[in-house]
Structure 1
Amino acid sequence: MSIPANNTLDGAALLDEIEAFHRRFNAFPTPSAYVAVVLWDAHTHLLDAFESTPRLAFLSPEPGSGKTRGLEICGTLVPQPMVAVNASPAALFRAVSGMEGGRPTILFDEIDTVFGPKAKDNEELRGLLNAGHRRTGVSYRCVGDGGQQTVQAFPSYAAVAVAGLGWLPDTIMTRSVIIRMRRRAPNEHVEAFRSRIHEPEGHALRDRLAAWADNVRETIEGSFPDMPEGVSDRPADVWEPLLAIADAAGGHWPERARAACVELVAAATAGDKASLGIRLLTDLRDTVFCGADRMPTAQILAGLTAMDEAPWADMSGKPLDSRQLAKRLGEYVTADNEPIKARNIRTGSGVVKGYYASDLYDAWKRYCPAPKAAESATPATDSG
């Protein structure tokens, strides 16, 4: 059920102004990215009206893509911004559970230092970010000295925006609206952001946004906005607060929000690291096996690494090998609920290790998009 727009304050016009403010300083990759970020900004003022809060993730493969500036502009528009690039886990726990002046909005730059290949002992931070997605989320820690320690639950629910290079773990990616930033082209221009000049402009918008949020809070609480067709499960949890904001604002925002939802959910599904396994399964079905009922590992690897515009020839500087193939396929199971693994295949020159299409078929059916061909061969069942 959609939420009727509140007419006391013109929410649609206010969101338009916030979008224009972002466009002055941020070169986001698509119009949908502006829509999502504006709605995320607004939802931070209504956090307790929702059961969960989506993370906002500015990610890029290279530095100099505008990620930090994205966080910076958001920081002028959200309540109690807390830049957390150098914050300790203890400081974040205390801030989220009882910061004077209200719950902070955490803006975490250089998130790759927490989750990326250079990350080390950051389990506490990871736990806080994971637990704080839900309003009921808490993190348990021991407090006190020596034998006087007790277990204390720290509320973890807080809005979080992150920026970093590369990717994030699945537990964060699937809870995030992902904005894949890129370096500006020569013809893309943005205004230089000067804190002393422009921050007060953002704060003025923030204050108006807070007033509007208070005006629509009762309308939004407990609402269940209509989801676009095909958006369900975790993506629906991520987008529900943003669509509720758009419906409350009215105007063109409900339509734009749902179009952005469909576009960004599809982009995340197609491009994130979590879907690399689906890409592997699909390439095996459509390009490598092509109806064959079994295939030696060496032949599979040769077929995969020969594919144009596929990642298999360069997996962190090396081509996909038999160990990596086994690890990735082993995450999926056969129709008998056994991990997919290499088995013996008898050839004219002897016995080699390889994979049977019958073992892959259930995963193909469950995870892969429909084959492009009108018909796809059902692999024969092998008894060996």
Structure 2
Amino acid sequence: MSADNSVFNRPGVSDEFLIAAGCFHCGEADSLKTYGFKAEGIAIPFHTLEGNDLTDNGKPFARVRLYHATDSQKYHQKPGSGVHIYIPHTFAQTPKGSRLPLVEGEFKALALAEGGYAGLGLSGITGAARTITNGESKTDHALHEELAHLLEHHQPAEVIFLGDADVVLNWQFSAEAAKLRRLLFGSRRYRFIEKFTVIALPFDGPKGVDDLCAAKGEAFKDCFESIISSGYSPPEKASAVEIFCCLLKRELERVRVAFTGDDEHKAHSSRVKLLQSAARLRRESGAMLLLRPLLTDLLNVKDRELDRMVRDAGEQEQRPGDTSTKLAGHGTAVEPPKIEPWPHRVNGAELLNRLAAEAERFLWLPQHGATVLACHILYTYVWRSFEYAPILAVTSPTPGCGKGRVLDLEQKLASNPWRTGNATESVLFRIIDERTPLCLIDEFDSLLKETRAAITNILNQAFHMSGRVHRIEGEQQRRVVEFKCFCPVVVACIKTGTFGRATITRCINLRMQKKPKIQKIQRLRKYDGSEWQRKCLRWALDHQAQLESACADFPEELEDRQMDIWEAFFTIAKVVGGDWPERVRSAALVLCGAGIYNEVEDSGVSILRWFKSYFEELDTDRVTSKAICQWLNERPDAGFRDWREGKGIDERALSKALRPFEIQPQNIAIGPQRPKGYLREWFKDAWEAYVSDDNATSDRYSATDPENASRNEVFASATEVPSSGAENLIPTRQNGDSSAVAGKKEEPAPLLL
């Protein structure tokens, strides 16, 4: 943000010219006082042809180019105000009858004006025309009345509809060009117009005419004249698809280079835009006869495959309030809602406090649950600043514990959420590559085993910024296609054993419990979280550089992988300050089990520990396979009762789990019999390598799963060792991060991962 009204740093327009146009840096107070709305940025006042202030609803009208612009919103104007035509301050002095360019945006119009052209600024591609409805509820179009008045004043012999470099892929630009030509030549009111020219800037050049002016400098006029001379003049009654195909033909080789170039993101997004435009234009009669030769050549596909891709792109019509869009060849995506940044600066610590309060308002959370959710919600706005994206695993011992409500809250507060409960792996990696959303995966353990395994592999790749998925695609020309899959993920499931060991080590586990009946929480129905979304976005925009340069301060108890998982939360806490660094530190130590049990172990290591406990408790040197299985299944704190769909662990599963440690049952002497069993001495080497005396089996509650040799749901306490696992199912706490026992020191909640 600049407070110096003599410095604007806009491409293609000098600061002196902007000052002469009345532009100035405005804060929220100035904007509210002068124009009736709050915004921070460069104010661009609108004037009439006579040079007076243009008014709208009794207030001077202006648009503000936001300092913190986003792809979804770069400008702001007073809510409820109308659409107006921007007239540069030099327009009245230009000779009448000269060419008149119509361009999208005020700064582009000013760049043309400073370059000696009488350009007018439209508020968007569709800003030249307005929709009217007659008494029979039929719609028609007419020129914007302000534009009509300016045309009559200037009486240009040629009107130029000037588009950016990317409009060759935009069906709407061609549709507006066809509409504008019809309106200009369909009325005797504009009989002075002799020529209508449609121009798209070179596809591989600067994006807008102001960028072109900045790049060419003194050579701009010669360059622009050359572009005008090669412009396209649509014939009478030219359709949108005819104009689209003509513009695309002119830029065909440049577009082809972009499709096959090294910039994967530009290539992919360009292909998607082209197919979406084709899907909209194919409704015109004979459209595919014109489109098919161009698109099959560019995309290198057969006619049949092209028809399918175009059909998929336009298959799902947008209904009122429905923002879903079918992306041809790249799965089904849902466009994220447009979020406007909060107009005021946001205090990070207060924002996290309110997010934590919102979480406790709607959810019955375990200890440190509110801290984790608040940090994770804010993290979804800044995750690209970090190398790792931890998986938030929302688990519970039984259904009905609120896992879905956690996803509901994330969906209402986080950035760019995409939720699914039945996606295949091909849908998932295409959605991630196209949208890089926050993936909310519900009911993960209800998916087919093969699907879970494939998605788990993608989740493992999504953990690191280098994560990629590779597939062979294409019919005529088979080639390897790479999909990026780095993004934040929240997964809800009942058993952590649903994940593989590698996935568990990438997770922060939020273990939900069933809410006591006496505990009341509010409902999420009709909840509007847009205020918090806007505040999160504003904080993220203001602190991105800080986050990227800050170094997290980790406690020594955390291991390397745990530091990777928690790095983003520690960094966010450090930047926001307050008590959040300590809150995140406490949450990490408890949820990682630092000083208690900080290793995610597989079923084999867990069984080694229980064998050691058995031999020590019974003071024996041998045990039969049948006896140890019975002993393990009878212990409620061991968790082996859940094996084999509730039948418990058996001798075969026990042998399979111990095989990696080179321990196998043999015939041992038990009295006169020689049943299959195990001797204590066989375990010494394995215990020394894998089992620490500091982590005795009786100090935790392990749960293992034979089908997933990584399940480990450990209930642990830092202060005492309960005799069974039942009393630890509901931690001693009210909700969130506070203790339910007044006057007592808060104890860590059970560790579950």
**TM-superposed deviation, 1:61:** 2.6
Partner of 1:285: 612
> Could you tell me which amino acid in structure 1 is paired with residue 443 of structure 2?
E
CA–CA distance in structure 2, aligned partners of residues 366 and 228 of structure 1: 26
**TM-superposed deviation, 1:57:** 1.3
Q: Does 1:113 align with 2:446?
A: yes
CA–CA distance in structure 2, aligned partners of residues 325 and 258 of structure 1: 38
CA–CA distance in structure 2, aligned partners of residues 139 and 207 of structure 1: 33
1:304 to 632, 640, 648: 632
Partner of 2:382: 46
> Could you tell me which amino acid in structure 2 is paired with residue 77 of structure 1?
L
> Could you tell me which amino acid in structure 1 is paired with residue 478 of structure 2?
Q
Partner of 1:14: 351
Q: Which has the larger radius of gyration?
A: 2
> Could you tell me which amino acid in structure 1 is paired with residue 477 of structure 2?
Q
Q: Which runs of 5+ in 1 are unaligned?
A: 1-7, 334-338, 374-384
**TM-superposed deviation, 1:306:** 4.2
Partner of 2:229: none
Partner SS for 2:398: coil
1:232 to 538, 548, 559: 559
RMSD: 2.6
Partner of 2:531: 204
> Could you tell me which amino acid in structure 2 is paired with residue 342 of structure 1?
P
Percent identity of equivalent pairs: 29
Distance change in 2, residues 1:361/1:215 (3 Å): farther
1:184 to 515, 520, 526: 515
CA–CA distance in structure 2, aligned partners of residues 372 and 20 of structure 1: 36
Distance change in 2, residues 1:127/1:305 (3 Å): closer
CA–CA distance in structure 2, aligned partners of residues 301 and 94 of structure 1: 45
Q: Does 1:349 align with 2:676?
A: no
> Could you tell me which amino acid in structure 2 is paired with residue 256 of structure 1?
R
Alpha-carbon contact 1:41-1:78 (below 8 Å) kept: yes
Higher helix share: 1
CA–CA distance in structure 1, aligned partners of residues 549 and 623 of structure 2: 53
Where does 1:123-134 land on structure 2 (aligned, <5 Å)?
123-134=453-464
2:683 to 338, 360, 379: 360
2:473 to 131, 135, 143: 143
Alpha-carbon contact 1:288-1:304 (below 8 Å) kept: no
Deviations 1:346-373 (A, max 9, x none): 4542544322333322332343342689
1:248 to 555, 575, 590: 575
Paired residues, what number? 347
Alpha-carbon contact 1:134-1:157 (below 8 Å) kept: yes
Q: Does 1:62 align with 2:398?
A: yes
**TM-superposed deviation, 1:124:** 4.0
**TM-superposed deviation, 1:131:** 1.0
Alpha-carbon contact 2:550-2:575 (below 8 Å) kept: no
Distance change in 2, residues 1:360/1:230 (3 Å): farther
CA–CA distance in structure 2, aligned partners of residues 362 and 214 of structure 1: 55
Partner SS for 1:151: strand
2:485 to 137, 156, 160: 156
Alpha-carbon contact 2:592-2:598 (below 8 Å) kept: no
Partner of 2:412: 76
**TM-superposed deviation, 1:276:** 4.2
Alpha-carbon contact 2:615-2:680 (below 8 Å) kept: no
**TM-superposed deviation, 1:260:** 0.5
**TM-superposed deviation, 1:330:** 1.9
Partner of 2:372: 36
> Could you tell me which amino acid in structure 2 is paired with residue 176 of structure 1?
C
**TM-superposed deviation, 1:304:** 3.0
Distance change in 2, residues 1:278/1:231 (3 Å): same
Partner of 1:327: 656
Distance change in 2, residues 1:286/1:109 (3 Å): same
CA–CA distance in structure 2, aligned partners of residues 265 and 362 of structure 1: 27
CA–CA distance in structure 2, aligned partners of residues 350 and 287 of structure 1: 21
